[in-house]
Structure 1
Amino acid sequence: MSLKVLRTYPFALLFLCLTTHVPALATVVATDSDGRRVELIEPAKRVVALAPHIVENLYSIGAQGSIVGAVQYSDYPESAKSIPRLGGVGSISLENIVALEPDLIILWGSGTPTGLRANIERLGLPYFVDEIRSLEELSESLEALSVLTGHLAEGLVATKELEEDLSEIGGERSLSQGDAPGVFLQLWDQPLQSIGREHLLNEVIERCGAYSVTRGITGLAPLVSLEQVLAEDPAFIITESAAQAQHWSKYPQLRSVREGNIAVINPDFLHRPTLRLMEGMRQICKRLKSS
């Protein structure tokens, strides 16, 4: 997503209104992940957020007071649990969205059903597509949301925090070095699922001096076979639960099992592209450096 944010000057807008008969131009403009120019007359005051990570990022820029509707699992921070629910990510009620009279709907690019998006567009409801595939795009998303909701100062603080965390945790390391360890990051167990070449977590792992053994697979979160993992023989395995970690003990031929390099990391620190992703990155880097 290439973010382009424009703010028109109040005196210029007033001059235009006084000297012409055309409607006032939008005072808030941002470009979303699909390259759409989203224009609002004023910062959004009634926002519907259609993914848990969007809710969390709105909190990070101080716009939580604008959220009037969210989806299942929008549970961080604690107060987000009280936001009215519109259903699960895959079963969102269009009628309930309309009833909330939002002045902005924030869609999850890869998670919001295409049919729902088509209906939102058909009704002429203002929407912004949010899809984060890199750490740079996380920063851009925070900036765009801060503009659209009128929280520029808080957005600047959030992006600065992200920048400082990245600097503290460590820079990107070239993967041309033969000693870069391979990592298998398990997103799900039945069926077995990992990250493909389009996933943000490839960059997180690479910044820790390693690489994902599934980075060559097309897609965002592809299914993989046990045979593929065994063939790759990763130096590390990252799981989201103790049960998943225990499962890998059945395969002592794996280097990661023999050397005890299986880490359990809270999935909320990895699956959601928010500022908490930095904690997941910190834990991955720490584990890799300590081995």
Structure 2
Amino acid sequence: MMRRLILLLPGLAFVGLGLGLVAGTAQAEERDPVCATDDRDREVCLDAPAERIAVLSPGATELTYAAGAGDRVVAVVAFSDYPPEAREVTSVGSHTRVDLEALVSLEPDLVVGWVTGNPAEQLETIEELGMAVFYIEPRDVEGVASAMERLARLADTEAQGERAAREFREGMASLAERHADAEPVTTFYQVWDEPLMSVNDEHLIGQVVAMCGGVNVFGELSRLVPRIDDEAVLAADPEVIVAGGMGEENRHWLTHWEQYPSLAAVARDNLFFVPPSLIQRPTPRLLEGSRILCEKLEVARGRR
């Protein structure tokens, strides 16, 4: 971890009026370190609030800005496109391969890493180089809210971070209450196409599906993001297929299923798209993505 060096300058001693006086001594103001526990259950402490933050995933970028520390961000990675001002920040590679030389040159005093998304060896190297690494990976609604609060603590922007966390918690709780008695709708969420992948009930997206009254047809599989095939989808015969796609306007994943007219989701025209940045990133915008998903499932109920 980078440490701020405090230099004490020796004073010049002189005697006057019978009193021994020391002049020119610079007294460093001492303060307690700023600490927060990351998602690897490690306490990360800084000598002072973070002033130069590097964020190594698009989700971490959004969370840091939401926590009120956007003006401290000096480095991002590819696809860090929200909020719009993040696009103007220097990129140091992608979440799968960070340009360490570029990162070091920006002298961050805090690096926000992604537990399972960034290469572990690179994050270890970053720490060995003396930079503090705060690992995040929200796995549920509370995790998203808590991440904003903890990042705000490290940046000394707690008022804004706490406000954003509170609004997110309240919004998600209201949405859950609204759909608490909704009729179940069997649902397949497609998170990737080649290989074909879904999510289980423990995944944050799976939790959103359940909150909206959906029954995840692959929810009981053991892997968080299980690989499946067309035959498994045909056997499950979901009423709804939801896809994130490769971009905000890319819906071609859904057209693949139109070759199976016997699928309930196809027969009832329940092939829905939700912009991936709204539901596949664990950020405050998950609230907006959840609202869209709940609306799609409500449409499907009306088509029975």
- Between the aligned partners of 2:296 and 2:219, the Cα distance in structure 1 is 20
Letter in 2 for 1:220: L
| 8 Å Cα contact 1:198/1:218 also seen in 2 | no
- Between the aligned partners of 1:238 and 1:55, the Cα distance in structure 2 is 26
| 8 Å Cα contact 1:69/1:97 also seen in 2 | yes
The Cα shift of 1:160 comes to 1.5
1:102 aligns with 2:108: yes
Equivalent in 263, 270, 276 of residue 279 of structure 2 = 270
Equivalent in 142, 146, 157 of residue 148 of structure 2 = 142
Determine helix, strand or coil for the equivalent of 1:128: strand
Unpaired segments ≥5 residues, structure 2:
1-28, 245-249
Report the structure number with the largest CA radius of gyration: 2
- Between the aligned partners of 1:222 and 1:124, the Cα distance in structure 2 is 37
Letter in 1 for 2:273: V
Equivalent in 199, 205, 209 of residue 209 of structure 2 = 205
Show the 5 A alignment for 1:78-117: 78-117=84-123
Determine helix, strand or coil for the equivalent of 1:102: coil
**CA gap 1:172/1:27 in 2 versus in 1, 3 angstroms:** farther
1:261 aligns with 2:270: yes
The Cα shift of 1:167 comes to 3.0
Which moved further from structure 2: 90-99 or 164-173? 164-173
Determine helix, strand or coil for the equivalent of 1:63: helix
Question: When you count strand as a share of all residues, which structure comes out higher?
Answer: 2
| 8 Å Cα contact 1:142/1:155 also seen in 2 | yes
The Cα shift of 1:242 comes to 2.3
- Between the aligned partners of 1:113 and 1:148, the Cα distance in structure 2 is 23
The Cα shift of 1:171 comes to 2.8
| 8 Å Cα contact 2:142/2:169 also seen in 1 | no
Unpaired segments ≥5 residues, structure 1:
1-22
1:229 aligns with 2:233: yes
- Between the aligned partners of 2:127 and 2:222, the Cα distance in structure 1 is 29
TM-score, normalising length: structure 1: 0.86
Equivalent in 236, 253, 256 of residue 247 of structure 1 = 256
| 8 Å Cα contact 2:199/2:205 also seen in 1 | yes
Letter in 1 for 2:155: T
1:284 aligns with 2:278: no
Letter in 1 for 2:117: G
The Cα shift of 1:96 comes to 1.5
Count of aligned positions = 267
* Identity over aligned pairs, percent: 34
Letter in 2 for 1:99: S
What's the counterpart of residue 82 of structure 2? 76
TM-score, normalising length: structure 2: 0.83
